[in-house]
């Protein structure tokens, strides 16, 4: 008998859920390398001298803090250094040379990314997208909470815009290194308006989450370019990580982070920033890109990020939107009416606009359930989405605001439970949890009408979740069998869910006083 039989445990719990073309840029900034120094007690002078010994040529060092760190008994935090060389270098070879120093966590070129947008449609025909995703019905459940912070990592935000100022929090500018994240491109202001413009103020537009707060974090330049160096700092600041020397304090850590930019290549810095931000519980979203390709773009392709594609008024992929099995969800992304510089209004398009709208929807969901995590949010978005066309491949359909918000508020039922009775319109989340120190578990959840395979979970205590919407089922008794396998041993457990009839009452249409003006 396999020894894992004695170790593998399987538990099942039930959770009831109650109700402009951009400029073409070089791959990286010429003559620059980013270096992340591990935590240590050495001073800057000792560190930089050691780096110079490993380097192939002379460089100057830019630090994120003004006062030079000295050697001390206690550890310094990690240090992010930007090395600028006196002459042209092979940045890739230089990074490899610097990696030979034991205190270097990693070194890489300072990659360049770009804003994901296309030229704006100069005429606004109608604000069609909120109606398409049934946002007005979602407002009957919540218009968002001022306790929920949506970070807009972009070109900054117009600090004085009449339709944004009420929702703006203090932010930071990592391009000019000051506390004034003013928008000198316009893209960030457009995204902020889509996500969280103020509602019922007799002005302009309403954002998707009109009562959520906006944290403006400027990492994009006036020409639409982004560097890894600035983007990494922006992520660390948005999440208020406190683990890099010199990055300012952020008193309003983000609950949701919207990123409407893309890099063609993966980056260790960017991946670390994404992982750090996700570790705080923030839900990260990024545009899939506007290249009409299935090639992965970053940060959207990272596992901790919800990747968003763009659709039109007919739920078809817009021609430029990227696609692929790595893309998680789609949202309206053409002729999206929003705010722009100098108290203006315009339309925006592309996966940027789709991302900002989805970030606003996640803000509504987080307002209704503050403990909502990324995996739960992504599953709800996908399970409640409407079908789309024109995508050779995609992980989910087009977002449905009312359904997503409706299915967000959760109340746990503690296990062990053998049977449970629910009414129709009360979705059930089945959670299978196992423990096998030696092997990965694969979970299978099935009932008499369907089967769903859950991919292997990670870690010693492994968990897989399946959201089952009872409003799609007839009244009756459903027996779920949950199976956990480590490839050799199989454990099973069954739970029965009784669904009883409940008449459907259509959601009340929102009163005029609560509608966007």
Give the H/E segment covering residue 339.
strand 336-340
How far, in Å, are 218, 257, 339 from residue 222 at the CA level? 10, 21, 17
Place of tokens 């034991």: 102
d(CA 448, CA 452): 12
Given the residues 258, 321, 352, 367, the one annotated as active site: 352
Say how far apart CA 34 and CA 107 lie, in whole Å.
Answer: 6
Identify any residues that bridge with 83 across adjacent strands, giving them in sequence order. Answer: 33, 61
- Given 28, 161, 187, 407, which residue is catalytic? 187
Q: What is the DSSP letter of 168?
A: B
| 3-state percent helix, strand, coil for the chain, nearest multiple of 5 | 20, 30, 50
Regarding beta strands 256-259 and 283-287, do their DSSP bridges make them parallel or antiparallel, or are they unpaired?
A: parallel
The Cα–Cα gap between 80 and 36 comes to 5
CA distance linking residue 147 with residue 244, whole number of Å: 26
Of 44, 137, 154, 436, which is the active-site residue?
154
Cβ–Cβ under 8 Å, residues 204 and 259: no
425 touches 450 (CB < 8 A): no
Q: What does the DSSP 8-state code read for residue 38?
A: P
HSE, side-chain direction, 13 A CA sphere, residue 367: 28
Question: According to DSSP H, which parts of 409-469 are helical?
Answer: none
Q: How far is CA 252 from CA 155, 213, 216, in A?
A: 19, 9, 11
Sheet holding 461-468, edge to edge: 410-413, 9-17, 428-435, 461-468
CA distance 169 to 235: 16
Task: Identify the three-state secondary structure at position 438.
Answer: coil
Structural contact between residues 199 and 516, judged by C-beta atoms closer than 8 angstroms: yes
Dist CA 223 CA 208 (whole Å): 27
Burial level of 414, CB count in 10 A (0-12/13-18/19+)? exposed
Q: How far apart are CA 426 and CA 436, in angstroms?
A: 33
Q: Decide if 187 is catalytic.
A: yes
- Would residue 352 show up in a list of annotated catalytic residues for this protein? yes
Active site amino acids: 154, 187, 352
């Amino acid at each position: 008998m396999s020894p894992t039989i004695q170790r593998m445990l399987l538990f099942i719990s039930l959770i009831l859920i109650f109700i402009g073309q951009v400029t073409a840029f070089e791959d990286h900034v010429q003559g620059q390398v980013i270096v992340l120094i591990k935590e240590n007690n050495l001073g800057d002078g000792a560190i930089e001298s050691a780096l110079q010994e490993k380097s192939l040529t002379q460089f100057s060092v830019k630090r994120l803090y003004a006062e030079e760190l000295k050697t001390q008994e206690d550890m310094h935090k990690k240090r992010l250094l930007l090395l600028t060389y006196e002459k042209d270098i092979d940045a890739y070879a230089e990074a490899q040379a610097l990696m030979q120093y034991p205190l270097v966590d990693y070194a890489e070129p300072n990659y360049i990314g770009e804003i994901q947008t296309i030229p704006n449609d100069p005429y606004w025909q109608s604000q069609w997208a909120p109606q398409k995703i049934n946002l007005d019905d979602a407002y009957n459940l919540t218009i968002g909470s001022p306790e929920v912070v949506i970070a807009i990592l972009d070109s900054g935000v117009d600090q004085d815009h009449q339709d944004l100022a009420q929702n703006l929090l203090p932010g930071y500018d990592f391009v000019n290194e000051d506390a004034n994240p003013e928008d000198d491109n316009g893209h960030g202001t457009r995204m902020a308006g889509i996500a969280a413009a103020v509602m019922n103020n007799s002005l302009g537009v309403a954002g998707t989450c009109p009562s959520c707060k906006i944290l403006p974090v400027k990492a994009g330049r006036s020409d639409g370019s982004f560097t890894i160096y600035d983007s990494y700092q922006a992520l660390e600041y948005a999440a208020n990580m406190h683990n890099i020397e010199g990055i300012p304090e952020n008193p309003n850590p983000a609950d949701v982070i919207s990123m409407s930019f893309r890099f063609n290549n993966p980056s260790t810095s960017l991946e670390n920033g994404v992982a750090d931000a996700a570790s705080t519980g923030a839900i990260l979203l990024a545009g899939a890109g506007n290249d009409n390709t299935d090639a992965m773009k970053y940060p959207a392709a990272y596992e901790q990020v919800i990747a968003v594609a763009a659709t039109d008024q007919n739920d078809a992929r817009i021609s430029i939107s990227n696609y692929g099995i790595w893309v998680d969800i789609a949202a309206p992304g053409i002729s999206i009416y929003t705010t722009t510089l100098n108290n203006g209004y315009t339309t925006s398009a592309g996966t940027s606009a789709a991302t900002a709208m989805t970030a606003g929807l996640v803000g509504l969901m987080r307002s209704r359930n503050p403990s909502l995590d990324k995996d739960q949010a992504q599953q709800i978005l996908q399970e409640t989405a409407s079908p789309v066309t024109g995508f050779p491949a995609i992980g989910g359909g087009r977002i449905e605001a009312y359904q997503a918000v409706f299915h967000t508020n959760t109340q746990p039922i503690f296990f062990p439970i053998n049977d449970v009775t629910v009414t129709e319109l009360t979705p059930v989340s089945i959670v299978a949890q196992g423990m096998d120190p030696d092997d990965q578990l694969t979970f299978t959840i099935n009932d008499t009408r369907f089967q769903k395979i859950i991919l292997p979970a990670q870690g010693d205590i492994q968990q897989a979740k399946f959201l089952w919407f009872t409003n799609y089922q007839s009244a009756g008794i459903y027996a779920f069998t949950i199976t956990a396998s480590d490839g050799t041993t199989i454990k099973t457990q069954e739970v029965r869910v009784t669904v009883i009839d409940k008449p459907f009452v259509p959601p009340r249409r929102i009163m005029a006083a609560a509608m966007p003006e």
